Chains A and B, each alone.
Chain A
Amino acid sequence: MLKNYIKIAWKVLLRRKFFTFISLFGISFTLMILMVVTSLFDHVFGPQTPERDTDRLLFVNSMKEQKEGGYTSSGPPSYYFLNKYVRTLKTPEQVSINSVFHQVNSYVNNRKLAIDIKFTDQAFWHVLDFKFIEGAPFGQQEVKSASRVAVINEHTRQQYFGDGPALGKEIVVDQVSYRVVGVVEDVPVLRLNSYADVWVPITLRSHEFNREGLRGGYFAILKAATPADVPKIKEEYAHMMKELERQKGEKDLQLYSFPATILENFARMVLGQGETSGLRILYAALTGITLLFILLPTINLVNINISRIMERSSEIGVRKAFGATSKTIIGQFIIENVFLTLLGGLLGFILAALVLWQINSSGLIVYADLSLNLRVFAIGLLLCLVFGFISGVYPAFKMSRLHAVEALKGGSK
């Protein structure tokens, strides 16, 4: 039966080529845009090298102090706070403290390079999953003795040394010379917690370690032993913050800092207030925007489908006269429409791949490596099915209600 339906659908598609073109154009472009956006979203918030185990990783990016009189200030936490209160937490398997990356200048062969440098501890390399092309990360010993060693990314290697290997060579960044111990693949700039061009031991900034403020210029990454530990970590962290607030003992002092996933951090930054992360509002807003976006192509497709199905009213009349129920007819048209959408979806995939390739090569996002992976593929497929279903249901329903006599005569008025 299914095979027959698809055969019929194929013949119908070939009969009216212009209508087929309009439908396929609409479907494929809509799905392309959705897939590109999904891929961008995944690029920013999903698991990507080096932040692979996103279900076990939590990031501490900010500390907000609210003092008497409603005066608030917020920014990245200080090393002092992270080292004394966060590193001592019991539930996380590992805690890494690293500086916010910042840009410094280097001059190579009469060229200026703007390089982002990040100061990290040695746990950073265990918590995150960098892909090393050459060498290895710096270890406990080098961090302890504040050695001038550096891990650089592929792009920086290219800038300094051309295509050759860089291991063991010296590079000068911001007037300081470092020995290269490892080269990693480029990390996209939107991954604030792991991105940099050059990573060096955190102990090179030890003069900042003892500043006793709560705010400074550092991030922490917490890794849970299992995904199930994540809520426990959050709980312990919240408890620690309450304790800290009490210890400080200032009147009306309120401290806000949370270990959170990248998406939660983003939602809190944009929408969140106090304890709530605003994640739900963000999801609702995203769903709303997506629905609004597919609304227009859907109405368009429904319109075209109605015209197309109207043309086939005599066929419906014959089938009804021979005893087909409304259900069977609705089923047939939905299957036809889903078939059409899947065809459009396939085209959309090809288009999306082209667009992503274009974005990657244009350098619009530094070190972007957008791709259509399995996750994006699955979401795309789901979108196709939903889109095909929605745009097929109404016309099919409308047609199935025709009386056989009327339909045989050629449709309703």
Chain B
Amino acid sequence: MIRHLFKLIWNRKKSNFLLITEIFFSFMVLFAVLSFVVHNVRNYTKPLGFTHDNVWLLSMRPSSDSAALNRQNLEQVLQRLKSYPEVANISLTSNNAPFSFSITSNAMTYGQVKDVQADYYEVQDDFQELMQVPLKVGRWFGPQDDASNHEPIVINQQLQEKLFGNEPAIGKLIPITDSSSYQVIGITEYFRGAGEFASDAPAMLTRINFAKRQDKFWESLLIKVKPGIGVAFEERMVKDISGITGDWNLEVSMLEKMRKAKAKVTLVPMLGLGFVCAFLILNVALGLFGVLWYNISRRNSEIGLRRALGAAASQVYWQFIGEVLVLATFGLLLGVFFAAQFPLLEVFQVDTEVYLIALFSAVFLIYLLTAACAFYPSRQAAAVQPAVALHEE
């Protein structure tokens, strides 16, 4: 039966060629969009590795060239902030604060494993409490690390797996230069500072030793306020700080707002693409329906003959559904061949699993779609009365 169907389609390959190309391109579009969506949805469902309720980000851009003066002002700002009863916690951070648009990364080398790119975050001791970063093993850095010869770091599980494989990582030294190195003191399961749609990339958090690095200046400061503190306090705070810093440029933003802005960058293209894809597929479905309807109605006499020779209505019905599915199979075979190149050649930095999920769902959807398009015309064909059909001829 199936061999027979293949033969039927193959014999009319010239007139079916356009339908097959159409199915092929629909599959490719569906595959591409689904890969994009699956990739993002999978990232979205992973934990961020921190919470950001009531956290504000203060960005400070000094106007003066004098590093010493800037540093002095910064120390005063920190002190002033700590004295507010409304403020629960503060921590300086590198410019790539959570949900910001900047990225800093660092190449890490350990033994045979060379140049693993890891997101690099500088934070202060209070960061863990402020952002509630859960640790799987080890500890967070604190004042006891002042005396340490190595730079203490907390890494996420991705980086641990990339660098150390299955070995335990705590206490391991990772060279920075010939004379200094990082020491892993804690591991957190996830840390995705770049936001909800960012993939779970290797990440490391290093300690800002504020007292020791007298020459350094940090522009970003995370502030956790107590619940229920609003814009009135913010205004007072900014006024106080600008009283200290003169004409520095100050900017306060809420992490929740930054999260939304960052999510928009992924969500808007995803919605746009989804819309375009849905339209293309609907368009193809309607077209396919029309063409199948027309083609099947032209074969009335053939159906009449089959019915007259004793074929049941259901047999005719399944023949047409089958023919369309075989047609889809030709298109899909070609499509799967091309789609399979993406995971095989690792074109983008995306898990193979994402491609596989997208591939199978796309195949399933195309079959479903073509079968649905064939449903009505096939039923019409099955309802043909042999006497009427043969009479027409």
Chain A interfacial positions (CB closer than 8 Å to B) = 18-19, 22, 25-26, 29-30, 33, 102-105, 107, 110-112, 114, 174-175, 207-208, 211, 293, 295-297, 299-304, 306-307, 310-311, 364
Contact = CB atoms under 8 A, between A and B. Distances in A.
A104 B61 CA distance: 11
Contacts of A26: 283, 286-287
A299 B29 CA distance: 14
B24 to A, nearest CB: 10
B283 A296 contact: yes
The list of the 3 closest CB pairs from A to B, nearest first, reads A300-B287, A107-B235, A307-B294
Given A25-B283, A29-B283, A105 B252 contact: yes
A293 B25 CA distance: 10
- The residue in B29, B280, B288 that gathers the most chain A C-beta atoms within 10 A of its C-beta is B280
B279 A110 contact: no
A301 B231 contact: no
B239 interface: yes
Interface of B: 18-19, 21-22, 25-26, 29, 61, 63-65, 231-232, 234-235, 238-239, 242, 249-253, 268, 276, 279-280, 283-284, 286-291, 294-295
B234 A107 contact: yes
Contacts of A111: 231
A306 B18 contact: yes
A368 to B, nearest CB: 12
Given A103-B251, A302-B18, A303-B22, A25 B286 contact: yes
A105 B291 contact: no
A112 B231 CA distance: 7
Given A26-B286, A304-B287, A299 B65 contact: no
B279 A304 contact: no
27 contacts: A19-B290, A22-B287, A22-B290, A33-B276, A33-B279, A102-B251, A103-B251, A104-B251, A105-B234, A105-B238, A105-B252, A110-B232, A112-B231, A112-B234, A175-B239, A175-B242, A293-B276, A295-B25, A296-B29, A299-B21, A300-B283, A302-B18, A303-B18, A303-B19, A306-B18, A307-B295, A364-B268
B25 A299 contact: yes
A215 B280 CA distance: 47
Nearest to A293: B276
- The residue in A26, A111, A114, A311 that gathers the most chain B C-beta atoms within 10 A of its C-beta is A26
Contacts of A300: 22, 283-284, 287
A307 B291 contact: yes
A364 B271 CA distance: 12
Contacts of A293: 276
Nearest to A301: B287
Contacts of B250: 104-105, 174
- The residue in B63, B231, B288, B290 that gathers the most chain A C-beta atoms within 10 A of its C-beta is B290
A210 to B, nearest CB: 10
B290 A18 contact: yes
A402 to B, nearest CB: 14
A221 to B, nearest CB: 23
Nearest to A32: B279
A303 B283 CA distance: 12
Contacts of B295: 307
B62 to A, nearest CB: 11
Given A110-B232, A303-B19, A102 B249 contact: yes
A105 B248 CA distance: 12
- The residue in B25, B64, B65, B294 that gathers the most chain A C-beta atoms within 10 A of its C-beta is B294
Contacts of A364: 268
Given A114-B251, A296-B284, 20 more contacts: A22-B290, A25-B286, A26-B283, A29-B283, A107-B235, A110-B235, A112-B234, A112-B235, A174-B249, A207-B64, A211-B65, A296-B22, A296-B280, A296-B283, A297-B280, A299-B22, A303-B19, A303-B288, A303-B291, A307-B290
B290 A304 contact: yes
A299 B291 CA distance: 12
B239 A297 contact: no
Contacts of A103: 251
A207 B69 CA distance: 15
A180 B67 CA distance: 35
Contact of B251 (A105, A301, A302): A105
Contacts of A303: 18-19, 22, 287-288, 291
Contacts of B280: 296-297
B6 to A, nearest CB: 19
B268 A299 contact: no
